[in-house]
A and B are shown apart, each in its own frame.
Chain A
């Protein structure tokens, strides 16, 4: 069979860049294959996709060696528009995807241009929207939707376009685990439906593997490191070696000394065949260690009482009450659209409560302006595009510090330190607009962290980071927390909560569903469902190996991983 995509000794370099972004890539992808391209930020995986769909390679200031054939044609002979008829793409920066005034119009856009009759068009749009569970959103403007909803809707646009190849660039960014599962299922069924070749670019391996794939291609530093079936690759350690998080159950199995072979089908927990002796190994590894738990009593710093808020009579938050103690690291969770961001906006003063109150240090926030609140509360939104306003990464941090009235020497020192922590030091003079999505995410986080406010609210702290950066940032947050900063994390990442949060506040449809410890949450199927979280694979593994209580296995793994990290650092 002829490959539908064929790289032959392909090297790609930005004229301004010192190093090629892709180095001598040779790769064949065949029609109908489902491929995961993975790697840490900056590994070249997005660039690879950008060459296939012509979004990058058609730009001017690039140098290309070698050949790339897409659907039998040399891409040099095609422009981005012609390529777009063959390759459909859902971009990571979803803001750039939408052209229609409403969701319905956006899904219909390609049909409009093909002169489809309006009646047929409406039927097709409704079908596509129903497939992605967005039929209720058709009349909304893209800007009114949450990130998760917009991702779903962008997929509906692809269904309608019916291209031979579909590329999803980081489709799970910002999605809660259940939404991510839905998304993966959706992406697969769409590819089957349109009989397209499917390419997913994504670092969240465990979530993508929720549905079967043909191959995983691992990239690092512009090269293809490994190209194997999921079962084969998961038996090796290459993913972890190249900075990616392997599925948690596999990490635990490997620590426990269970030998993995492709025959055991480790690609998913439910396909994995564990023998009795394997289970005993896990159980033994677990009992090697005792788990100590402790709790501290602390004073209330932030009090949210009977908070209600809504637009147009539609309640977004309904009678929510909870407290955050000084020095807490609290996670606020709930499915996409449950009211997490609304809560943050209310605390920061972007929106005003309809009823109830919020007190900080016993003092009502009601009459305080956004700026006055900002002296005490730092907020990092999920979408980095809005927060950034300066020319370069360094300026962005210096700007924040300037406003605090710090002197020049201190500004440079603190900005540089922060850039190093966020892995942006090499890019400190780069224009903000040239940064990748994940770099912008880190920069927006840095620009708030550098101000060291006593309370930090961070929307999806992990989104956009690879594993090493994630640990680095989270450990830094932990350090700030130890030094007394109170941190509120808006997240749907259960592992993050288990590892870092002392308490979890669960919102469901704008109401407070629960306020408990992460360990309690893990055992609580009802609350997990309400928060649209899934049991981690570790929980399932613990049950399979008769470990009780099962959440302790997670704690165990986290502690081991931390020890391993500390060991490597020393």
Chain B
């Protein structure tokens, strides 16, 4: 369906409950969720968070295939994390949980233990809760909504608007690049398929520099246009993309707080950040 031709992560338009949420409430949710997932290693809480994350994806109508590349990237990052942890501290799980259930020896001093596996499961849940949630935030919130949301938090609107401009700038450059590349190819410049990589890189670079300088120039023009249309004349401004706070917004924020409290409670109950099923 949706073909993101530039292959970049950006807003994906769908009609869903998640898209309809205010940017501010989504941001609060994301920030609180980040704190929660970072502080807790309680597997039950993490499973709950993971489940909620999956539910949010289902609600948002964003399919994992829409953000395939990013998910794979997270997976690779995670495998790297597992590999390095295991290489340098194969007994980390045992150290944390204070017991040792060896499953089978691998080689030398390396043993696979249930504790290590269980610890890895926790790390997996953390990664695949927080990062996809951040991705979901990006693909369901337009830069302008984000700006309006940030402004609602009291961040000066000039800053918010600049941030949204910067976010818009990236796909703009990519689109311009694509258009220009096509047209230059149609004028016989060596770019695109069937060209040696070296030549292609050189010619792309030749094209990219004027493109960026042109974009900067157009940024200047944009600023002039903005001024002419009254940007900056008042201390405040309103936002066309503003959304009224609705019941789902409250529900989302309340849930985020409850989850954070739950995580804090489990720390208190577990006498630490880890949930220990072994002892």
A contacts, CB < 8 Å to B:
80-81, 84-85, 95-102, 104-105, 108-118, 121-122, 125, 139, 143, 157, 161, 311-313, 345, 348-350, 369-375, 377-379, 381, 385-387, 389, 400, 403-404, 433, 447-448, 451
Contact = CB atoms under 8 A, between A and B. Distances in A.
A369 B188 contact: no
Contact of A433 (B187, B217, B228, B232): B217
B175 interface: yes
B229 A99 contact: yes
B1 interface: yes
Contacts of B241: 105
B104 to A, nearest CB: 52
A227 B101 CA distance: 98
Contacts, number: 141
A231 to B, nearest CB: 36
Contacts of B180: 386, 389
Given A96-B225, A118-B240, A389-B207, A369 B231 contact: no
B192 A112 contact: no
A178 B240 CA distance: 32
B170 to A, nearest CB: 12
Nearest to A143: B175
Given A101-B164, A111-B240, A112-B238, A378 B227 contact: no
B109 interface: no
B44 interface: no
Given A143-B175, A371-B195, A378-B186, A81 B238 contact: no
B37 interface: no
B182 A370 contact: yes
Given A99-B225, A102-B144, A370 B234 contact: no
Contacts of A400: 187-188
B62 to A, nearest CB: 15
Interface string B125-142: 000000000000000001
Nearest to B193: A369
A433 B239 CA distance: 34
A313 B2 CA distance: 9
B246 interface: no
A109 B218 contact: no
Max chain B C-beta neighbours (<10 A), residue from A99, A122, A143: A99
B1 A312 contact: yes
A109 B1 CA distance: 31
B182 A348 contact: yes
Nearest to A144: B175
Interface string B227-260: 1111111101111111000000000000000000
B89 interface: no
Contact of B185 (A84, A370, A451): A370
Given A113-B233, A313-B1, A371 B182 contact: no
Given A375-B188, A387-B183, A101 B144 contact: yes
Nearest to B217: A433
A371 B191 contact: yes
Interface of B: 1-3, 13, 142-144, 164, 168, 172, 175-176, 179-180, 182-195, 207, 210, 214, 217-218, 221-222, 224-234, 236-242
A248 B66 CA distance: 55
Given A105-B240, A113-B231, A372-B194, A386 B225 contact: no
Given A115-B234, A400-B188, A311 B221 contact: no
Contacts of B218: 95-96
Given A80-B224, A101-B164, A369-B192, A451 B187 contact: yes
Max chain A C-beta neighbours (<10 A), residue from B182, B195, B236: B182
Nearest to A98: B225
A427 B32 CA distance: 60
Nearest to A390: B210
Contact of B242 (A81, A118, A345): A118
Max chain A C-beta neighbours (<10 A), residue from B188, B191, B222, B232: B188
Contact of A115 (B3, B164, B190, B238): B238
A375 B186 CA distance: 8
Max chain B C-beta neighbours (<10 A), residue from A112, A373, A403, A433: A112
A379 B230 contact: no
22 contacts: A81-B228, A85-B230, A95-B218, A96-B221, A99-B222, A101-B142, A101-B143, A101-B144, A105-B144, A111-B240, A114-B230, A117-B238, A118-B239, A121-B240, A125-B240, A350-B182, A369-B192, A379-B183, A386-B180, A386-B183, A403-B188, A433-B217
Nearest to A87: B228
Given A102-B142, A111-B240, 9 more contacts: A85-B230, A101-B144, A113-B232, A121-B240, A125-B240, A312-B1, A371-B188, A379-B186, A400-B188
Contacts of B168: 101
B239 A80 contact: no
A374 B176 contact: no
Contacts of B224: 80
Contact of B228 (A80, A121, A372): A80
Given A101-B168, A350-B182, A369-B194, A80 B187 contact: no
Nearest to B235: A115
Nearest to B232: A113
Given A97-B225, A116-B238, A369-B193, A451 B188 contact: yes
Max chain B C-beta neighbours (<10 A), residue from A109, A161, A370: A370
Contacts of B172: 143
A113 B192 CA distance: 43
Max chain B C-beta neighbours (<10 A), residue from A101, A117, A118, A378: A101
A112 B186 contact: no
A378 B185 CA distance: 10
A395 B91 CA distance: 67
Contact of B189 (A104, A403, A433): A403
Contacts of A447: 187
Contact of A84 (B193, B195, B228): B228
Nearest to A374: B186
Nearest to A80: B228
Given A95-B218, A101-B164, A386-B180, A113 B229 contact: yes
A473 to B, nearest CB: 19
B229 A370 contact: no
B230 A371 contact: no
